[in-house]
Amino acid sequence: MSVVLVDAGGTNIGSVRYALQRLGVDAALTSDATTIRRADKVILPGVGAAGPGMARLRELGLVEVLRGLTQPVLGVCLGMQLLCAHSEEGDTACLGVIPAPVRRFVDAPGLRVPHMGWNTLSIRQKHPLLAGLDDGEQAYFVHSYAVPTGDYTLASSGHADEFSAIVARGNFHGMQFHPERSAAVGARLLRNFLSL
């Protein structure tokens, strides 16, 4: 099985790659369109801002490549947000493969932004990506923008309002949290993705 990490400049690439190595998978880091199209699984990691993330994908000529993929694709953190339609962060048009907006957490008394730390996952739909995951398990989040819940939401979490923690539409999947930092839960979810 060939797994690639899209080299879109995300700072979490090394930790995602190491998490995959612990599962016995050596994922290639690439920005080559042909390599990405030929891979069995594609992971789009990312930490940073939507505008520069999309600008990097455009510079690399990967926007249409990623939109056209038919194999399982996983966006992690910013990578999940880039799969969506539009981000309020920098008023950025994203890949649009998941029909959802990305919105900044609303400032409110006592609400810390960015949302950072462990938070509970609430399962909303059955899906092979969630195999073996129990309702109420926790994952590690670091983000200031979030995707509201919708029919694409597999699991949600809450920070003032409920938001999408795991999404899926067709072959595209996303995790707002960092599976590579989410201990056994994150390892299980990555293993499930590799099994799709």
Whether 44 and 70 have beta carbons less than 8 Å apart is answered as no
Residue with tokens 């072959």: 171
Question: Taking the model in full, what pTM does it have?
Answer: 0.96
- Annotation marks residue 180 as catalytic: yes
Q: How far apart are the first and last CA of the chain?
A: 11
What is the chain's pLDDT, residue by residue, as a tens digit (196 residues)? 999 999 977 667 888 999 999 999 999 999 999 999 999 999 999 888 999 999 999 999 999 999 999 999 999 999 999 999 999 999 999 999 999 999 999 888 888 999 999 999 999 999 999 999 999 999 999 999 999 999 999 999 999 899 999 999 999 999 999 999 999 999 999 999 999 9
- Annotation marks residue 94 as catalytic: no
Set 59, 64, 77, 173: catalytic member: 77
DSSP character string of 95-106: --SEEEEEEEPP
Q: What DSSP element (H or E) covers 30?
A: strand 28-30
Set 84, 94, 143, 180: catalytic member: 180
Residue with tokens 């400049």: 9
- Annotation marks residue 178 as catalytic: yes
Domains in the chain: ranges and CATH: 3-195 (3.40.50.880)
